Structure 1
């Protein structure tokens, strides 16, 4: 049987601003790959080659990125929404392209579940709809469920502390039969707020599958940093050299003199001077790091320059920035194309460059 997959990738990623002012959340890099590429790869491993991507915000950049990086024999159709249709509404708009069981995933969520096993579970139970679940420590940001005998008996979106009855959360990945689309009557329409409660009221059984693999909502900058660390740990190579230790993904062929690297992603065409320390970070293409710089738990996007004797910790530095010498940046986000003078001290702030009105 040939399945189709749908990737929802139309959101603005408001919690990640100012990062998402310049790049849509689904294609923010995680350990060298666009976030949604991990989901596309999981579909590909399950034998799903026909994918529809629903998008809206900064769709040109998203389409270009996905076309350039997708698996060669994976066919992708893009549905561009002029106005947000909601998660379920975006699927309704493309219903003419769906004629059999299909899988839905969120492009801005980091995941690499075994999709084939999820589909087998769905088919084994003759389910009309299956929600993939995971356990979370803070349920307030997610839809939570009550699960009995693999069936969802209760659903609540983003509960308050007093409303919390479970730590089992909706991952935004679903297996659905086409007939379920008939319950989506209007646009915009949301899976969690509208469709699932309606199905439960009509006694339509919703099955729940507890996912096996990595799942992380990269909704905040700290989550994005953690996402890079998780994927480096899973897919990196073990090093135990004098200066390079732990799990690392090192793309560049450059050799670094007296540079310490630990549990990090290092991209292509990187220049690193002597006595540099990089720990639990992601350093992307064409970055230039001068001598005696320390980078920890941070992300440096392409074409960043860090002058000598600077320290960057728990921060995201966007593309084409220059960090002046003897600077210190902690718990902060630096927007693209900013140049900080030497001896700058940036703590717990987001520095934004120009913002295009249409992007807000």
Structure 2
């Protein structure tokens, strides 16, 4: 059995962080996103990665893992979209396969999803979660467990609150439906599949999109809460053992390895990544501070990402 992980995107919504850290390697509560996704995939499966931006760093990271012998790396010379990336890896997908988007965090049971797909002899099965505002996602309309319509980013009038959770089980026949070149499986394939055999697998556990600053911070907070509930943390704050912190930290927050935080700082609802320096009297609130970034004395970064070079967005 094979899983295909779509990790070739540029991560533009997380700039300037992704100028120096490829999106799959962005730390989230102490672990890279790609490692959290790999936790979902059974250990006896092979995993195909579509590599584009940041491929050298990601390849090196995967090579350092103990299970690197099950990984297949496929070069994507330029971003091809979700559909194009699948078609680009077609030579490795000759049987039922699972696709995972690279910018989600979840505890979804992939084996249970695969079982439903096989029991119902489906052509495609999409993981679904319910969200309050579905307008920026792919939205489905269901009849029992069958998807009867799929609309990508419907805007102000979505047909339901059930959205595409970024994990699919597909048959190889679906690849033939994907146009050559850059293509979107959500826009060009799923609406057609909904006319035939497209199932929905509802997930009610942990699920977060981490492709933007607000969604990253929500995912961070959710994972920290789970650590507190499990008794591994006393509060929603994770500080690396070698970080030097001379100011109080207000939860939720994560402080990476080698970080230095001076006195009289306000640190709240943020991720300060490895090697960053926050000088005396600075404020970091609702923000990500990139690895190695410097925040000068008395400076503020709020509702923004501070890049390694000092750029803010």
Coarse TM-score class (shorter-chain normalised): over 0.9
Contact persistence 1:319–1:337 (CA under 8 A): no
Whether the 8 Å CA contact 2:290–2:306 is kept in 1: the answer is: yes
Choose which of 209, 223, 229 in structure 2 pairs with 1:217. 209
Report the CA distance shift for 1:326/1:94 in structure 2 as closer, same or farther (over 3 A): closer
Q: RMSD in angstroms over aligned alpha carbons?
A: 2.1
Deviation at 1:43, TM superposition (A): 0.5
Displacement of 1:177 in angstroms is 1.6
- Deviation readout 1:13-57 (Å, 9 max, x if unpaired): 22211222222222211111111222111003xx44300001211
Q: Give the length in aligned residue pairs.
A: 313
Aligned with 1:309 (options 273, 277, 281) = 281
Distance 1:100 1:235, change over 3 A: farther
Deviation at 1:321, TM superposition (A): 2.2
Cα deviation for residue 336 of structure 1 reads 0.3
Of residues 316-325 and 97-106 in structure 1, the stretch that sits farther from structure 2 once superposed is: 316-325
Give 1:228 shift.
1.4
User: 1:207-262 deviations in whole A, cap 9, x for unaligned?
Assistant: 111024322111211211221121122235766xxxxxxx63xxxxxxxxxxxx84
Q: Residues of 2 paired with 1:286 and 1:324: CA distance?
A: 17
For 1:304 and 1:130, locate their aligned partners in 2 and report how far apart those are by CA, in whole Å: 42
Question: 1:229 touches 1:264 (CA, 8 Å); kept in 2?
Answer: no
The structure-2 alpha-carbon separation of the partners of 1:318 and 1:185, relative to structure 1 and needing over 3 Å to count, comes to closer
- Inter-partner Cα distance in structure 1 for 2:133 and 2:278: 36
**Which of 122, 127, 149 pairs up with 1:127?**
122
- Structure 2 length as normaliser, TM-score? 0.92
Give 1:77 shift.
0.9
Match of 1:72 among 67, 72, 76: 67
Distance, in Å, in 1 between the alignment partners of 2:249 and 2:237 is: 11
- Structure 1 residue 265, shift from structure 2 partner: 1.8
Q: 8 Å contact 2:178–2:185 — kept in the other structure?
A: no
| Mean CA deviation greater in 129-138 or 181-190 | 181-190
Matches within 5 A, 1:340-355: 351=312
In structure 1, the partner of 2:160 is 166
CA distance in 2, matches of 1:125, 1:54: 29
Asked if 1 retains the 8 angstrom alpha-carbon contact of 2:124 and 2:193, the reply is: no
Q: Unaligned regions of 5+ residues in structure 2, if any?
A: none
Corresponding residue for 2:263? 291
C-alpha separation in 1, matches of 2:27 and 2:237: 14
For residues 292-342 of structure 1, the C-alpha deviation after alignment (integer angstroms, 9 at most, x for no partner) is: 33311011111112223333211111121222333333222211044xxxx
Per the alignment, in what secondary structure is the counterpart of residue 114 of structure 2? helix
Give distance in 1, aligned partners of 2:67 and 2:91. 25
Deviations 1:90-123 (A, max 9, x none): 1122222122211100012222211111111111
Structure of higher CA gyration radius: 1
Counterpart CA distance in 2 for 1:278 and 1:303 is 20
Aligned to 1:4: 2
SS of match in other structure, 1:351: coil
CA distance in 2, matches of 1:90, 1:75: 19
CA distance in 1 between partners of 2:4 and 2:44 (Å): 10
